[in-house]
Amino acid sequence: AGWLRRLLHKPKPSSVESLKSSHSASSSPSSSSSSSAKSSSSSPGTSLATSSISLSPVSALDISASDSPRWDKSYDVCICHSEGDVELVEELVSYLEGQPESFRCFLQLRDAAAGSAVVTELCDAVQNSHCWVMLITPGFLQDPWCRYQMHQALAEAPMANGRTIPVLKDVDRKDYPRELRNIYYIYMALKEKSFRQIRDTVMRYLQGLCQSSTKGME
């Protein structure tokens, strides 16, 4: 009777092996499904990142394409400034023209035709440029030609649509021209940062121009 009871209470080797094997089998799929989940979660992320790059509405390449509306005008940017700010403006022009997009800038002292009337040159520069940077300094506020060019730009595009880019330097906010009060300005504290802001604003306008042109063709 004793040996029979011991035999009945002894665990069956097959049951233990079966339990181990079933535990092993259950853990294996979970790890595999975990790695599979990681893989599947990373794949859409990579795919999404790739698509977001490839589906970017307008890229730098688009604005430089041969059929881009950018080429409808002679210049991307016209810089309006006083004579006393020539050195700073030359730095800005060098920065913009040195960008990968090679922005085309109108610089009066460099690009105005010799012998032509100042009024004609200023008006042509405004009409033949996509954007106008107004470098508003104490000298700008005292220069009648600067104010004339500012009024020409506002007459060309009276609505604030990104074409007129006021840049304030060494001028109190209270002295900001009333004609530009409905347009946000860039305050030039750090030159490098302001140059980047000007570049980004011009780029944004040209991208929007290309995007509108593309939609119009669809």
Q: What is the pLDDT along the chain (218 residues), one digit of tens a residue?
A: 555 455 455 454 444 344 344 444 444 433 444 444 333 333 333 333 322 233 344 445 579 888 889 999 999 999 999 999 999 999 999 999 999 999 999 998 899 988 999 899 999 999 999 999 999 999 999 999 999 999 999 999 887 688 999 999 999 999 999 999 999 999 999 999 999 999 999 999 999 999 887 765 65
> 3-class DSSP state for residue 76?
strand
Q: Distance between CA 109 and CA 163 in Å, rounded?
A: 22
Overall CATH class of domain 70-216: alpha beta
| Sequence-distant (≥ 6) Cβ neighbours of residue 108 within 8 angstroms | 79, 121, 122, 125
Q: Where are the domains of the chain?
A: 70-216
Long-range CB contacts (within 8 A, 24+) of 210-215: 210/58, 210/62, 210/63, 210/65, 210/68, 210/69, 210/70, 211/57, 211/58, 213/68, 213/69, 214/58, 214/62
CA dist 210 and 201 (Å) reads: 14
